[in-house]
Structure 1
Amino acid sequence: MDKIRTVLSATAMLCATTAIAGAEPIKVKVFVGSMFEIGENTGDRAGEFQNWYERYWKDSTPHEVKGAFRPVHCNQDGVCGSVLGMGKVNSSASMQAILLDPEYDFSEAYFILSGVAGTPPSRGTIADVSWGTWLVDYDLGHRWAPEEGEAGASVFMPRKGYEAYRLFQLNPELVGWAVDLSKDVQLQDSDSARSYRMRYPDAAAQAAPSVKTGTHMTGDTFFHGPGLSNEAQYIAKLYGADDYLITEMEAAAIALVINRTHGTDRVLSLRGAVNFDQGNPNETTLQHLDPAPGETAGGFAETVSNITAVGAPLVDTIVANWDEWHDGVPARSK
């Protein structure tokens, strides 16, 4: 009898294992990766993930992925997303774990790397939303103290050997689709953001928020001040990228991970500006980094709402027209 029980138990385990192994993985059509959430995924103050979650995954069942920062959520249409964590290592480690999870098939997936960011006042403003045209790593090179170099010159020199890692040009046709589908989205604004903009003399800083494109600069250093902002622009131009428009902490690293297994033709970086990368002419950089109560930029809630509003038309278009998108980015009508 014990032998029979043993055989039956082994047979049951084998059948269960075979059933699991034979289960079809989820075909991911679009994956949205955010970097942080403030509290819960719904019902409280929204961070980067909440508006996406409420639009696509409110009824989803979270799936824990070993090695990922937070669970993955998917809906019936193949739209999946997760909070990846802040910074290069945190976010890219999560992305790697998710890509390697056998529960998912990313072979035809599009990726939207979504979050908040800073912008130079000469090129953008609070509540702007930007599609990245290039992703540039701010950190891969040599740096020295300003007093140890030529007066007024950059304190950065790229290091050889990082050419394949330090920048990615994102698919212009895909970026074009993203811009075409979002250029007429009505962006939210706030009185506090409008008031804060007027502290800056730049026309771009004082303008109403809009959808823009440009280089997204990825650095673990949360750099501030006109000197380091100018250095970011110097690096972008040194590498042949577009004007530096966004400072963020994850996109180039996540793109590198995706590139190892799937390439970057289906990767997009989507960022909303919640701060300027430098103070106004009447404050020092340290004062800008540590503002007094009531002296912050405002517009955070509006910006994270804008990000989803700008990104969703592309997500919905890909899903609704999957027969045209699954083999690659279709040509746009001119």
Structure 2
Amino acid sequence: MASAEPVKVKVFIGTMFEIGQNTGDRAGEYQHWYEKYWKDAKSIEVPGALKPVHCNQDGVCGSVLGMGKVNSSSSMQAILLNPQFDFSQAYYVLSGVAGTPPSRGTITDVSWATWLVDYDLGHRWAPEEGEPGAPVFIPRKGYEAYRLFHLNPTLVGWAVDLSKDVALQDSDSARVYRMRYPDAAAQAAPSVKTGTHMTGDTFFHGPGLSKEAQHIAKLYGADDYLITEMEAAALALVINRQHGTDRILSLRGAVNFDQGNPNETTQQHLDPAPGQTAGGFAETVSNITLVGAPVVDRIVKDWSVWQAGVPDRKAR
């Protein structure tokens, strides 16, 4: 019997975790995407991937890849190499929640990455072993080809154009929590932003490491550090080795600040008392899909234009 033709993937949406079921309970990163695109889709098992892949008849596919660089990238590679799929012309939306520095963003913001930077590839030492106040990081030679990725500016521009007017959800608890921070960006209403997404398996936290993340971004010539997350640079590396990076988007929603407010220590912020968390998680995971879906839908709707590559934005 002849084998079935592989699924021609137009857009692949990769999230990192789901809290419970794919639908009908508290939503994590995958649920809103699942309910929009795959509620009636069959699960496709992929050896080596954390979770099954779902695909609809329009060629929109997605999966939960796992948290952290190794976990997520091993799933991504297994899916990319599986003969059940044809990724030769696919676009990618790498989607999840994240943290943001209060000087540049706020809770329930949604951000498109302009650059992906790996936080971990370099040399570090204890602050007391270096010059007082100086950075405690230097890059290591040999990692130049995969410590950062400049995402396709035309594709990012399309994403911003298509999502900039989306009405973002917010919550009363998030509004109250923002006021703990003196920064204008932290106190602002949520919006769609762009900037560098910093990928680190270490859940780095506090003003000192936030400053270090910005130092690394500028050291590498990237845009301002805006998002801290744990997967995107590793996923981009796996995709790049098969298909390049021209069709990759990284989309993150901020559910926490990367440091405490001036009246709490970093440890207090990481281990808050009951009722002292930021709030806004449910609104943020909803916002991510609200912001990302117009891009997915445009690619599918105008596939004849997008199939061969990212069109000039004048094509709008």
TM range (shorter): over 0.9
Task: Quote the residue 2:259 is aligned against.
Answer: 278
1:243 aligns with one of 221, 224, 228: 224
Task: Quote the residue 1:106 is aligned against.
Answer: 87
- CA shift at 1:24, angstroms? 1.3
- CA shift at 1:100, angstroms? 0.3
Distance in 2 (CA, whole Å) between partners of 1:154 and 1:73 is 44
One-letter code aligned to 2:234: A
Distance in 1 (CA, whole Å) between partners of 2:240 and 2:49 is 18
Deviation string for 1:194-235 (max 9, x for gaps)?
000000000000000000000000000001100000000000
Task: Quote the residue 1:318 is aligned against.
Answer: 299
One-letter code aligned to 2:302: N
Given the alignment of the two structures, is residue 259 of structure 1 paired with residue 237 of structure 2, yes or no? no
Task: Quote the residue 1:80 is aligned against.
Answer: 61
Distance in 2 (CA, whole Å) between partners of 1:130 and 1:58 is 26
Deviation string for 1:147-190 (max 9, x for gaps)?
00000011101000000010000000000000000000000000
Query: Taking every aligned residue pair, what percent have the same amino acid on both sides?
Result: 84
Task: Quote the residue 1:71 is aligned against.
Answer: 52
- Residue aligned with 2:255, SS: strand
One-letter code aligned to 1:259: N
Task: Quote the residue 2:119 is aligned against.
Answer: 138
Task: Quote the residue 2:285 is aligned against.
Answer: 304
Distance in 2 (CA, whole Å) between partners of 1:285 and 1:65 is 40
2:37 aligns with one of 40, 56, 61: 56
One-letter code aligned to 2:289: T
Which of the pair has more CA radius of gyration? Answer: 1
1:161-180, aligned counterparts within 5 Å?
A: 161-180=142-161
One-letter code aligned to 2:250: S
1:286-297, aligned counterparts within 5 Å?
A: 286-297=267-278
Deviation string for 1:300-319 (max 9, x for gaps)?
00000000000000000000
One-letter code aligned to 2:109: D
Q: CA RMSD in A?
A: 0.6
- Residue aligned with 2:205, SS: coil
Given the alignment of the two structures, is residue 31 of structure 1 paired with residue 12 of structure 2, yes or no? yes
Task: Quote the residue 1:13 is aligned against.
Answer: none
- Residue aligned with 1:131, SS: strand
- CA shift at 1:85, angstroms? 0.0
Q: Any stretches of 5+ residues in structure 1 without a counterpart?
A: 1-15
- Residue aligned with 1:58, SS: coil
Q: Any stretches of 5+ residues in structure 2 without a counterpart?
A: none
2:206 aligns with one of 218, 225, 250: 225
Distance in 2 (CA, whole Å) between partners of 1:25 and 1:64 is 14
Distance in 1 (CA, whole Å) between partners of 2:251 and 2:313 is 20
Deviation string for 1:28-65 (max 9, x for gaps)?
00000000000000000000000000000000000110
Task: Quote the residue 1:4 is aligned against.
Answer: none
- CA shift at 1:281, angstroms? 0.2
Distance in 2 (CA, whole Å) between partners of 1:332 and 1:167 is 25
Distance in 2 (CA, whole Å) between partners of 1:214 and 1:69 is 29
Distance in 1 (CA, whole Å) between partners of 2:250 and 2:212 is 21
- Residue aligned with 2:43, SS: coil
Task: Quote the residue 2:109 is aligned against.
Answer: 128
